[in-house]
Structure formats: C-alpha cells, structure tokens
Structure 1
C-alpha cells in the first residue's frame, strides 16, 4: 500500500491544534518534528513539549481525498505552508537496517549492529543496535565522545557516563579498558537500554547504573556527559565535583553558538579546555585543576 504524507509548518501555539485537525480529517498518524533541529528537554509527566517552529506530519492512505483535508485545515487555520507527497510502500525495517552500518571512531573503536559482520575482529568492537534510548554513534555528539574516549588510556580507570542513554559510551569505555563505569540518566528506559547493551557486550559486571540523584557517586578519573547545553550549565557544580584532580572531562550535546556559555560554567574548575567540532556540534574537554 502507498501512503500520502502532509507536512504542515506550525508554531508551538498551533501545532497541537493542527495535529488534532489532521486526525479529525482522516490522518492515520500524526508526528511533531522540530523544523530547526533544536534539542529540547525531557517533558514532565503529562506535558507535551513543542518547539518554537514545529512541522506537523500527517499520514493518510493513498486513496484519501487530500483536497478535502487541505480545505478543512485551511478553513481552521488560514493559509498554510505545507508539502504533500506520496510515500512509496517498502520494507521499512529492511531499509532502516540497510542504512545502519558499522562505524569506526578514532584508531581502534568500532560500533557494529548485530546484523552486520564485524569489519575488524582485532579492533575494539561495541555491538549495538538502535533502540529506545539515544546513542548509536550516528549523531555527531556521540561520535565526538567516542573518538575522545578512543584517544584516552582508560586501563584501570573509573569512568562516569553522565546521561548514559543507550549506554554506548559506557560500554565503549569498558571495552577500551576502564576498570568500572557508572552510568547516570534521568530516564528509566535509558537505564534498561544501557543494562541490555552492557550484557550484550559482556561488560555488565563492571557497569553500575543509577537514576540521577538516587545514589552517592564516587569521584572519577574520567567523566563524559553527552546531554544538552542547558543541563550542562545547570549541572556544572555537580559534574565538576565528580571528577578527581587531574581527571579528564568531556562535554557534548551543544551547538557552536552555545560553546562559550558552557565553557564559562567550567573554566574555574578545569584547565586546558579544548573545543572540537563536527557538523556544527561541539565537544569541550579539559583537565580538572
């Protein structure tokens, strides 16, 4: 079966109403997308968080009369900026799998999905499939952190992965020689995903996982935090206290225009702060004073 997809540009004030109207005129599903690719914070329970500029995407069967749907929407909201297109029916699972290939970071670290052969059995291979939690290596912020970890001597070290998501950074650190890793996240699904990926990679015995604020944490030799610029600034005192003197820190999840404010939040506690960039996403790393 083929499908018709209608994408309407809306705002945070109108997006939910546009989505409701799409459902009323026959949309089988409605999705909200950030039209400017701006990260947002995790919503509170029962809260719908929408972006400043939001695209609302509705999906209809190919036989639907889209003139009727468009007239209904424009009667409700006036002239709309929209795009209507036909979607080819295909094996979406197969297409998705075909687009996720093994990826190399630094000199020795690979992230490999389970359905692909390992390119280099002698390398450090992290086996990980996309899932419910953020972090597969495809996003520049994750790639920046993986490359940084690959360049460290982690043998015997204690590492904290603050905002562990899928556990990709925690598992990579353990496979790169860390003695133990503590993973922290605010999302219970992230804790579950990290545990499952650690078990798949046979490193779960050296990984401790906690919801944020629910455990007293030790100071670490290395801390990596791949979250967002706002939380990185708000958590600067907490994160700084978790790194031992001479320990190493990497912060990611921030855009180019956010680097100065994040650096300012850490510069009193850390020296040699360096900035690395990939596709306009940044990583800041330094040494605890």
Structure 2
C-alpha cells in the first residue's frame, strides 16, 4: 500500500495541538521532526521533547483527497496564511522502517514497560505489555496515555475490578491487569477499538480477564477503579454514566484534557469526587481523586 505524507511547520507550543488536528482530519499516524535538523536525544519515560520549530507530518493513504483537509487546516489560527505545506509520496516499505525505528520500549512509573514486538523486554521480570504502535490507537506515546499509565502504577490493583472507559487499544486495561487487577471491563463507541482491545489483551495473556462492550451493551456494575482517557467534552457530558461505574471510596482518573479544561471537567464530578492536584505533561492534564459516596448516596 502506498502512502502520502502531509508536512507542516509550527512552533513547539502548537506542535502537539497540530498533531491532534491532523489525527482529527483522518491522518493514520503523526510524527514530529526538527525543522532545523537540530539533534534531539531519547526522552525520559513519559517525557515529550519538541524543538523550537517542529515539522509535523500526517500519514494518509495515497488515494486520500487532501483538499478538504487542507481547507480545514487553512482555518487553524496558529498556522501561516496562506497555508504552507508540502506533500511527499511514501512507499509502504519506507513507512514500515520509519515506524519501527521511532518506537522503542518505554517505562512508566519505574515499573511498567510498553514494548514493541520487535524488541525484547528490557526488564523481563517487571510488568510489561507487548504492543505494536497502531495507526489509530494509544500506545503510550501520547502524554495523556503516559499520565494514565504512571497513575496506574501507583494504585493498589491486586484483585480489583477496573472499568476502562473509552478503551481504544486496551493499553490501560491491560496495564491494570498486568499490575494485579483481576478483571477489566472496557467500553468504546468504536467497534474496531473493541476488536483491537481484545486482540491486544489476548496477545498479552489477559484476554480471559478483559471483557469489552459497546456502551449500551455494558453490564451494570460498581467497579473498584475507573479510568477514562477520552476528551473533555464527553467526560463532562457522560459524568453520570462514568460515575455510575465507581463504588464509594474508589479512585478515578481522567485524561484527554487540556490544562484550560481541567476545572470545567472537575466541576462536573465535584459532587461525588474529592480531587487531588491535577498532573501535567505539556498542555495535557490528568485529574484524579476518590469517590466520596455511591451513586445512590
């Protein structure tokens, strides 16, 4: 399969935002490179390093009509006007090599590893997830996923039931099971995400403990722990649904939230959640706390 790369230049302050915009406009993957060829060293666990000027590249199937996407990008306030961009063809073999070179084992919380299949686990005795970077699902490289994984390593998960709300690739639920949870319920509105989650769970030896559902088919239960890495809007709109999964005293973590959105999301949950201080990576936020009462009070 042939691909086409769409590359734009922006400042480091907007690079991740532009990457998210490209993903929202059908990009199958996004990469970041220095616009001035300055070297960058391997970042630490959960750390995101960008350059002062960054080339942000979206990957699209070669047959994609880019004109509607370029029209949308032309409306982005922080991009130059008229829109400056370039496109390059990319053969499948070139993409595969670049894809593999860009992903190395990552450690979260000092104990949990996410390892691509072409690498050996650096610490085989520590919990690890074998997960190849997918084209549309989380792998730990995004700050919100990194925040959630680090948070999970701090929880007492042994024997617990967890709900992974908006499970995507299943990485968070698989991590919880690898860290000692007994059962995970994953929900997602995307059937392809549910397939990916189940496949990844089976590949990591936790398929029997990880059940996946479309939201309207999910069982009613009060879980010990809830984690939701989606977006601020759905987190606010679905607060009653998400809180309905959490038993009194249970911890909850939510991400997919920009710094400026954190207060609004917390306000939607403050009647039942006692929040700790938010955590940040760049402009991304994780909010977490503990349920003070059950749904029925």
* TM-score bucket of the superposed structures, by smaller chain: 0.7 to 0.9
Of 173, 189, 193, 1:190 maps to 193
Aligned in 2, Cα 1:145/1:32: closer, same or farther, shift over 3 Å? farther
Match of 1:140 in 2: 143
Answer yes or no: is the 8 Å Cα contact 2:254–2:286 preserved in 1: yes
Question: Which SS does the other structure have where 1:122 is aligned?
Answer: coil
Q: Which runs of 5+ in 2 are unaligned?
A: 10-20, 26-61, 293-297
Q: Equivalent residue for 1:105?
A: 108
Map 1:35-50 to 2 at 5 A. none
In structure 1, how many angstroms separate the alpha carbons of the residues matched to 2:69 and 2:249? 40
Name which of 80, 83, 90 aligns with 1:81.
83
| Equivalent residue number for residue 202 of structure 2 | 199
In structure 2, what is the equivalent of residue 242 of structure 1? 245
Deviations 1:179-213 (A, max 9, x none): 10000000000000000000000101111110011
Distance 1:117-1:263 versus aligned 2 partners, 3 A rule: same
- Tell me the distance in 1 between the aligned counterparts of 2:177 and 2:88: 46
Aligned residues of 2:159 and 2:181 also touching (Cα < 8 A): yes
- Residue 131 of structure 1 is matched in structure 2 by 134
Tell me the CA shift for residue 242 of structure 1. Answer: 1.1
Deviation at 1:34, TM superposition (A): 8.2
- Cα 1:257–1:167 change in 2 (3 A) is same
Aligned CA distance change for structure 1 residues 210 and 88 (closer, same or farther; 3 Å): closer
Name the CA shift for 1:87/1:210 in 2 (closer, same or farther; >3 Å).
closer
Which residue pairs with 1:91 in the alignment? 94
The secondary structure found in structure 2 opposite 1:205 is helix
Return the offset for 1:91.
Answer: 1.9
Aligned to 1:157: 160
CA 1:52–1:114: 2 relative to 1, 3 Å = same
Aligned 8 A contact 1:185 1:210 in 2: yes
Question: C-alpha separation between the residues in 1 aligned to 2:219 and 2:74?
Answer: 37
TM-score by length of 1: 0.74
d(CA) in 1 for partners of 2:86, 2:202:
44
Which structure features the higher share of strand residues? Answer: 1
Q: Equivalent residue for 1:53?
A: 75
1:141 deviates by 0.3
Residue 260 (structure 1) aligns with? 263
* Structure 2 equivalent of residue 19 of structure 1: none
Displacement of 1:280? 1.1
The structural deviation recorded for 1:29 is: 3.9
CA distance in 2, matches of 1:274, 1:220: 23
- Secondary structure class of the residue paired with 2:155: coil
1:251 alignment counterpart: 254
Contact 2:74/2:82 (<8 A) preserved: no
Residues 244 and 288 in structure 1, CA contact (< 8 A), matched pair in contact too: yes
Question: Does structure 2 conserve the Cα–Cα contact (< 8 Å) formed by 1:136 and 1:166?
Answer: yes
Number of equivalent positions: 237
Q: SS of the counterpart of 1:253?
A: strand
The Cα RMSD (Å) is 3.2
Unaligned runs of 5+ in 1: 17-26, 36-49, 56-78
SS of corresponding position for 1:131: coil
Instruction: Give the CA deviation at 1:273.
Output: 3.2
Q: Tell me, what secondary structure is at the counterpart of 1:171?
A: helix
Shift of 1:246: 0.3
**For each residue in 1:90-109, what CA deviation from the matched residue of structure 2 results, as whole angstroms up to 9, or x when unmatched?**
72211111101110000210
Is contact 1:33–1:54 with CA below 8 Å preserved after alignment?
A: no
